[in-house]
A and B are shown apart, each in its own frame.
Chain A
Amino acid sequence: MSSFSVTEPSRRAKWFAGTLVILYALITMVPLAWIMLTGFKSPSDAISYPPKVFFEPTLEGYVNLFTTRTRQTPEFLAANPPENWYEEIVREYDMVIVGPSKFGERFLNSVIIGFGSTFLSIFLGTLSAYAFSRFKIPLADDLLFFILSTRMMPPIAVAIPIFLMYRQLGLSDTHLGMILLYTGVNISLAVWLLKGFIDEIPLEYEEAALIDGYTRFQAFYKVVLPQAATGIASTAIFCLIFAWNEYAFAVLLTSGTAQTAPPFIPTIIGVGGLDWPAVAAGATIFLLPVMIFTILLRKHLLRGITFGAVRK
């Protein structure tokens, strides 16, 4: 490093750039911070004017999110004192909890379908990516391009025949149907990304293993797989985030048993219109895992979002 570099920005330039970027970051965080705050407000605080930044936090939104409630007569309420803290919250509105809401189920569906399709995409994707990377496959380039171009179809366009197909096969509104569908959509991304990661592993490792008497298959899972572990992990997170966030297919092809959280969250209705704190609580619980994954993934983010077109 030379004592003077023309490419190193001056201190003033750094300070100026830093201030502007931090300012942007803070502004861009306002909507997210607001929705997280709203989750801890009471319904009246949530819709007050002017909007309240300081308020008495309550878990009402979360309680409402996870339960269904019903109004009761004063006599009933007096005869049955609240047994725990969440009953107490509900009592303020002369209500009692009658059971869990559907949010838990929907969230669980998101988890099952998300992880199921991610596992399948990664399993099949790693095998194919290895084959595409190491063997001569006729028409490989055309095939890869074609796989990619299917992503240009608007999801609604794909949903029309899938809807008809699933109706015939009895896969509508089933976990299996959604897992297969998301795998079908994700696998193109998985193969592209994984091929890029496997291409970067030097061939010599496997050749050494083959000469040492490993079979091709042993070389694959004892030599290549461990080398590709980071790539596989980050590809998996991308697949998971896609399946987690997907809305169009979910809203068209599921209605009950296999419905995921994104179509469900906007339909949370409270007394007299949308229950904003409950919606905000649901959004918070739903978005937090993705934020954590994004932070874990930051090194490979660019590669994932550009289908491996840009590598850092």
Chain B
Amino acid sequence: MSDSPASRAAAATPPSVARKIRGLSDRAIAWIFVAPTIFLLLAINIFPLIWTINLSFTNFKANSPNREVVNVGFRNYQRILTDSDIWLNMQATAHFLFWTIFFQVIIGFTLAYLINKKFKGNDLWTTIIVLPMMLSPAVVGNFWKFLYQPQIGLFNYIIAFFTGKDPSSFEMLGSVSLAPWSIVIVDTWMWTPFVMLICLAGLRSIPDYIYEAAEVDRASKLRQFFTITIPMVLPFLMLAVLFRGIENFKMFDLVVQLTGGGPGSTTELTSINLKREAFEKWRTGYASAYAIILFVTVFGLASIYVKALNKVKER
């Protein structure tokens, strides 16, 4: 902007004259336009973050505000990092993260690859496939709970129909071994389209002439797939994984509605555990420290990942 004719003219004009001619100065407009947003971000994002950091060093309990608040230093952090239950929650989260991303990448990429064959009506079917990911996760969790009911649920009925098992012989949400998979299934159902859309954008970004050149060089279709398609789509795929990773690390609504963290604590992801600590046990200080640890973890992992992503892009 700085070297456009208009702003050069503005720079050459004394401010008082400029104000008369053009109303407010660009600088003033810039600040007037940005200020409300910055204020809101400070109030809703930054200030709470600082407050959380502050609380994390205390033993504050939100349900007993009159209790004396003591500064406990790093004790909250120490307790969290040495608590074996929290490591179990982390493991549940890791299981959830790994398998959802695994299935979503495989199914999502395959679908994108097939849609990119440009068969008739592919736009319509893409739109239909995309629908689940736009829905409210809490409501989705709630109605999948209905599908997972052992006696009456459609999911159990269909599985029973194909395997010949008794539909009431297994409980997707009630059994320790199946519950972690039940949340993986719903998340995969919901979010595969997301990975698919991003992969599709990647596939469509590959110019035709690269394949034409490969064809001239008599590279086999398989070879083209591994030396052109995969490397060109990889940055897109990695971006999709980044988004899914961050989102699923924060996962709360869907799983809370489906299993509520149970049975026992087999599906108690970190966010659900955090909610328990903060809003059921009311250990506000402790939960704040927990929140900060989670934030730093996501932020750290995401930063490392973005560096790797940029390297892949540069290649």
Tell me which residues from 134 to 190 in chain A have a Cβ below 8 Å from any Cβ of chain B. Answer: 134-137, 143, 147, 149-165, 180-181, 183-185, 187-188
A31 to B140, CA, bound (A): 9
Q: With A135-B30, A157-B52 as given contacts, are A50 and B201 in contact (CB-CB < 8 Å)?
A: no
CB within 8 A of B41: which of A5, A49, A187, A263?
A187
CB distance from A158 to the nearest CB of B (A): 6
Tally of contacts, chain A with chain B, CB under 8 A: 307
Cβ of A163: which chain B residues have Cβ within 8 Å of it? 62, 279
* Residue ID in chain B nearest A286 by CB atoms: B139
Q: With A187-B40, A207-B5, A217-B29 as given contacts, are A283 and B189 in contact (CB-CB < 8 Å)?
A: no
Cβ of B234: which chain A residues have Cβ within 8 Å of it? none
* Interface pair B197/A305, CB less than 8 Å apart: yes
Cβ of B292: which chain A residues have Cβ within 8 Å of it? 157
Judge if B304 is at the interface, Cβ distance under 8 Å: no
* Interface SS of chain A: helix
Cβ of B117: which chain A residues have Cβ within 8 Å of it? 9, 13-14, 17-18
* Residue ID in chain B nearest A36 by CB atoms: B143
Judge if A78 is at the interface, Cβ distance under 8 Å: no
Cβ of A310: which chain B residues have Cβ within 8 Å of it? 198, 201, 236, 239
* Residue ID in chain B nearest A287 by CB atoms: B135
* Residue ID in chain B nearest A30 by CB atoms: B154
CB distance from B2 to the nearest CB of A (A): 6
* Interface pair B36/A127, CB less than 8 Å apart: yes
| Interface residue ranges, B against A (CB under 8 Å) | 1-2, 4-6, 22-24, 26-27, 29-34, 36-38, 40-41, 43-49, 51-52, 55, 62, 107, 111, 114-115, 117-123, 125-139, 142-144, 146-147, 149, 151-154, 157, 167, 189, 194, 197-198, 201, 204, 208, 211-212, 215, 236, 239, 243, 246, 249-250, 252-253, 257, 270-271, 274-275, 278-279, 284, 287-288, 290-292, 294-295, 298-299, 302
Task: List 18 A-B pairs, Cβ < 8 Å.
Answer: A21-B122, A24-B111, A30-B154, A31-B132, A49-B157, A50-B157, A131-B34, A158-B48, A160-B287, A164-B284, A184-B40, A187-B40, A203-B1, A215-B23, A244-B136, A290-B134, A290-B136, A310-B239
